[in-house]
Amino acid sequence: MPRASTFPVHGHQLELFVSGGGDIAARDAQDLMAWPFFSLAKSKRVRPIDFRMGGVSILVEATAEHGMATIWDADVLIWVASQIVEARDAGRPTSRLIAATPHEILAFTRRGTGKASYERLKAGLDRLQSTTIATSIRQRPSPNGLRRRHRFSWINEWKERVDGAGRANGIDMIIPDWFYEGVIDQALVLTIDPAYFALTGGLERWLYRLVRKHGGKQKGGWSFDFQHLHMKSGALSPHKRFAFELRDIVRRQALPGYTLAIEHALGRERLSFVATPIDPFASAMRRVGLSTTGLGAGDKS
């Protein structure tokens, strides 16, 4: 049962949402899939992301101490979204204050569960808490027609829970209203392939989320100009390097569930993608973290 928060928020106490654990579907927030909110590099990034397109503006700022939250750190938010949606669909109350164990998060995101992984998780939580975002997404225009900005951090606060002997046995965290409201609205969340967590490159992780958001299950697929993709990624690499890495992802067919191709039109490159037919056996194997590599047709029986 939820208990009162030890985090007072705006003069009142939040109820604690305890994760349900278990083997649940991975779900991602569509706004985070479509726009540049995270560093794609494993090295520390402090240079801001300052993105503007039409009525959308995004400013992501980092501290020199921790650096910007990375796309690997965003796995924590995928875990949060998955838990909230699962609880909502089961009729259980949810809250912005969430109790978790490091083991739950690490196991769900297909990471090791040892001490080193726990330390990396805590460093990621620090980046999520210290990175600040100001965005016009989902904000109503002001009377003069300009969109207001909402400023927040991915995690407002987090702390370790300890047992009677002073040993850490869990984590409490508060997620911001902006993220929570997007997740609790069913139209703004999509399931993702668990094989996503096995993607090791920042660019391919970002690209999978973008492709899943825009390509979905459409028979005709979708396509984007390379220049447009470069702009939407927020990456610091020059366009030439970005295009080289994109071509390599296409060559390796690295995104689970999608077939990629490069088209040329008017002297420009476009990435096209279409959902591949679902193999129920392979899908079930991925759900439990196994690979079908090396299996012949006769091995599926």
Interval 221-245: pLDDT, tens = 789 999 999 999 999 999 999 999 9
**Residue 19: other Cβ atoms inside 10 A:** 21
Q: What is the per-residue pLDDT for 280?
A: 60
Whether the pLDDT of residue 298 is over 60: the answer is no
Whether the pLDDT of residue 65 is over 90: the answer is yes
Strands (E), 175-257: 189-191, 222-225
On whether the CB atoms of residues 109 and 197 are closer than 8 A, the answer is: yes
Interval 163-184: pLDDT, tens = 777 777 899 999 999 999 999 9
Nearest-angstrom CA–CA distance, 175 and 156: 6
Q: What percent of the chain has pLDDT over 70?
A: 84
* Entry pTM: 0.86
Nearest-angstrom CA–CA distance, 109 and 55: 34
Q: How far apart are the first and last CA of the chain?
A: 43
On whether the CB atoms of residues 211 and 192 are closer than 8 A, the answer is: no
Interval 75-98: pLDDT, tens = 999 999 999 999 999 999 999 999
Whether the pLDDT of residue 294 is over 70: the answer is no
Q: What is the per-residue pLDDT for 218?
A: 64
Task: Band the pLDDT of 4: cuts 50, 70, 90.
Answer: very low
**Alpha helices, H only, 97-167:** 102-108, 115-130
Whether the pLDDT of residue 293 is over 60: the answer is no
On whether the CB atoms of residues 206 and 215 are closer than 8 A, the answer is: no
Query: What mean pLDDT comes out for the span 171-199?
Result: 94
Q: Which residues contact 154 (CB under 8 A, 6 or more apart)?
A: 69, 73, 77, 128, 129, 131, 133, 175, 176, 179
Task: Band the pLDDT of 12: cuts 50, 70, 90.
Answer: low
Q: What is the per-residue pLDDT for 147?
A: 65
Query: What mean pLDDT comes out for the span 123-140?
Result: 94
Give, for 53, the enclosing helix (H) or strand (E). Answer: strand 49-53
Structural domains of the chain sorted by starting position, each given as residue range(s) with its CATH number in brackets: 4-191 (no CATH), 195-300 (1.10.10)
Edge-first strand order for the sheet with 12-18 is 4-9, 12-18, 97-100, 168-174, 157-162
Q: To 10 degrees, what angle do helices 202-215 and 226-233 make?
A: 110
Whether the pLDDT of residue 299 is over 50: the answer is no
